[in-house]
Each structure stands twice: as structure tokens, then as C-alpha cells.
Amino acid sequence: MSRLMKKSPHTTDTNPEAYRGYRSRLEGVRAPYVRPYSPSDPWFPTSIVMIWNRRYAARHNVLQGRSDGTGWILADTIARDILVERNRLRDAAVPQLPEWKPEETKYVQEYLTRETDPCVASLSDLCDCGPSIRMLWSEAKQQGLPDLEAFLYIVKWAHHRPVVWDQDDLRKKRGSPKSDPKVSSRLKKPMEWHRAEDLSIPWTSESEGEIWQIRLNDYPDEWMYSTACV
């Protein structure tokens, strides 16, 4: 049975537990009904933001929990804090609000402030758990997409199925190990890791003439860590 939130605020969760719970939530819970407004309707942008918010709120529930003390509580606070910082820095680079009509922006702002446990209270808020509406809109516009397709670009992000989920399913079906046995064997040996400034590759190690990296992925859509020898 999927868990929508932690029942106890006093226990912590491992990265794999929260990752699987996040996936279970998105796959097992029926998406809320969103009225299919016409693109010409001033409520249309709000309907898109509602779809975005479902995905973003699920990510927020893993990385930041909820204001009432429930939600996932990651034991791995070091990686969580790095991810949150990385997301905030990326979002801060896109301060420009979407150039929507005043009435459209007004309705979106009203929706965000009405949320009982808002992850984002305004379009201008920095998003530390995933891409904001501003960021996704900017990406779409940089690709030259017209407004309607830019809105659909946001929907695509909200509904996308990470490739790693299908890889996980295939691995389980085949009975394959979670990681490359050669990599697992190498990592069992003593290695001295050094903190790097790169928020995507925060740890590196040099051993036996090899340079190893620990990378932070797009958690919780992906596993928290991956390793590589470069």
C-alpha cells in the first residue's frame, strides 16, 4: 500500500524508502480533477499550475516535509541540503515572471495563496524542491515555443515518467543486481573522499590511479546517488 505521508513525525527515512514511497504515491494516487479550461479562458494558466503543483508538492514532501511535521524525514540530511541548495540556485537564475495577462496572473496567485499547506505561496518564490513555473516557462520560451505549447511543456514535466523507473522494473524482472558488481566491489575497498564545490558532483576520490565521483541525481525522481569512474 502506498504511503501519502509519514504517520509518525519522530522517525527518519532512508533515501531508498522515500524514493520508493514517492514513486508509489505518483503511480498509485489518482490525479486530482482539473477542469479543462479553454486556452483563451483567464483560468487556463491556473489549471496548468494546479497540475504542476501536484508533482512539485510530492517532491517537496520528500525533501522538506510538511508544515504540520508529517511527510518524509530523510536521515541523509547532508545530501538533502545540497539538493535543496542546488535547486534554489538554479531557480534564482530565472527571476522573470511569465508574461501573462494581469487577470491570469491574479488567478494563479490567488490559487497559490489558498493552498492549505502551500509549498509555494507566490510565482516569485524560490523553489528548492524542483523546477518552478518560472523556470519551466523560461525553458519553453528559450526553445521558441508559443504560449500554448509552453503550457503543455509544464504539463509534460508534471506527468513525465523517469527513465530510471522503467530501468528499475526491468532490473527486477531480470533479477539483476542494483549496481554493477565491479563498481560495488571497488567501493567496498577503503577510499578517501573529498568534498567538492560542484553541487552535482559533491564528492570525489582518487585511488589506484582512478578518479571516482559521487553524483547527486534528480532525487526523488531518480535514486539519490550514482557513482562514476572518470
pTM of the model: 0.88
Please choose, from the candidates 112, 27, 13, 24, the residue with its C-alpha nearest in 3D space to the C-alpha of residue 63: 13
The rounded distance, in Å, linking the Cα atoms of 125 and 97 is 10
pLDDT by position in tens, the chain (length 230): 334 444 445 578 999 999 999 999 898 766 555 666 788 899 999 999 999 999 999 999 999 986 666 678 899 999 999 999 999 999 999 999 999 999 999 999 999 988 766 789 999 999 999 999 999 999 999 999 999 999 999 999 999 999 999 999 999 999 988 777 877 887 788 889 999 999 999 999 998 888 999 999 999 999 999 998 88
Helix (H) or strand (E) holding 211: strand 210-216
pLDDT at 230: 82
Residue located via cell numbers 536521515: 75
- How crowded is the C-beta side of 97, counted as CA atoms within 13 Å? 14
Alpha-helical regions (H) of the chain? 15-28, 44-63, 77-92, 102-114, 133-142, 147-159, 163-174, 181-187
pLDDT value, residue 37: 72
Report the pLDDT value the prediction gives residue 84, as an integer from 0 to 100: 97
CA-closest candidate to residue 201, choices 180, 179, 226, 220: 226
CB neighbour burial string for 80-105, b if at least 16 within 10 angstroms, e if fewer: bebbbebbeebbeebeeebebeeebb
